[in-house]
Amino acid sequence: MRGAGCTINDMWDRDYDRQVARTASRPLAAGDISTFQSLVFLGGQLSLALCVLLCLNYYSIILGAASLSLVITYPLMKRITYWPQLVLGLTFNWGALLGWSAIRGSCEWSVCLPLYFAGVMWTLVYDTIYAHQDKRDDIMIGVKSTALQFKEDTKQWLSGFSLAMLLSLCVAGMNCNQTFPYYSAVAAVGAHLAHQIYTLDIDKPEDCWKKFASNRTVGILLFLGIVLGNLWKQKDFKNVEEPSENR
């Protein structure tokens, strides 16, 4: 579905992409493939996504189908609002809800909503940085973004989003009894984001790309924190269980 979202985005934006140096070489914008070919490819992506979705429980099927409207409408948002990155966050982080419901049969909102909100805040951080690469072209062609909205105040906004992300991750962790490795990873994520924002040069596209791409480290750190935190949790549970059995 993430791939389908990228395909839809390129289909909607093919005329804009031709006018932006960084995106002019994209297959649709460059004319390497036709709109019909991209539509066929999109159909294949959505068919595969449907196959996966139908393997899940009914709750998850409905929840997953509900994300389709966001996937389709996100690319239009940059035409009507300076906050398309917020809609992107709502779209890209749907997995925080769907992943939980696929395993548990429904969402535990005290965990899922803070996790989802943290993901949205993270998207606002990295995609605002990403948008700064194209701000000069965006002004000329009339495309909106948070980069144009925040301008020279970008770092303050990014700091606020990062703080909200970290607090939300802590709330999600507390509500599902996470352990030391998880909170250590959250702290490491905070340090990484602080360095990323402090050293960011919003007027250098190459630096914006470097900082944007470094968010893979944020994802890896958080993933490892969740996995190791859950393993630690299982170890603690066994340590509590064994004395009970001995009695």
Token duo for residue 203: 């007027």
Q: Quick one: pLDDT at residue 61?
A: 94
pLDDT tens, residue by residue, 74-123:
888 999 999 999 999 999 999 999 999 999 999 999 999 999 999 999 99
pLDDT value of residue 137 = 87
- In our burial notation (b when 16+ CB lie closer than 10 A, e otherwise), range 32-62 reads eeeeeebeebbeebbeebeeebeebeeebbe
**Is residue 197 domain-shared with residue 167, that is, in the same domain?**
yes
| 224 and 115 both lie in a single domain | yes
Structural domain span for residue 167: 68-242
Residue 5 shares a structural domain with residue 103:
no
2 and 97 in a common domain: no
Statement to judge: residues 129 and 37 lie in one domain: no
In a domain, 139, yes or no: yes
The domain boundary residue, chosen from 9, 33, 55:
55
Q: Which of 17, 33, 55 is the last residue of a domain?
A: 55
Of 194, 129, 198, 132, give the one whose Cα is nearest residue 163. 194
Q: Where are the alpha helices (DSSP H) in 54-153?
A: 58-66, 68-80, 84-92, 95-104, 109-131, 135-141, 146-150
Count of domains observed in the chain: 2
The verdict on 22 and 104 lying in the same domain is no
Length of the chain (residues): 247
pLDDT of residue 156: 98
CA gap 132, 136 in Å, rounded: 8
pLDDT exceeds 60 at position 178: yes
Q: Please indicate, yes or no, whether residues 44 and 116 belong to a single structural domain of this protein.
A: no
Looking from the CA of 15 toward its CB, the CA atoms found within 13 Å total 6
Same domain, 7 and 106: no
Do 46 and 129 lie in one domain? The reply is no
CB burial class (10 A; 0-12, 13-18, 19+) of residue 226?
buried
What type of residue sits at position 224? L
Asked if residue 247 belongs to a domain, the reply is no
- Specify the pLDDT at position 5: 85
- Cβ pair 56, 64 in contact under 8 A: yes
For residue range 204-218, what is the model confidence (pLDDT) as tens digits?
999 999 999 999 999
3-state helix, strand, coil in the chain (%, to 5): 80, 0, 20
Spatial distance between the Cα atoms of 169 and 106, rounded to a whole number of angstroms: 20
| pTM of the model as a whole | 0.87
Question: Is residue 19 domain-shared with residue 75, that is, in the same domain?
Answer: no
At position 230, the amino acid (one-letter code) is: N
Residue 244 pLDDT > 60: no
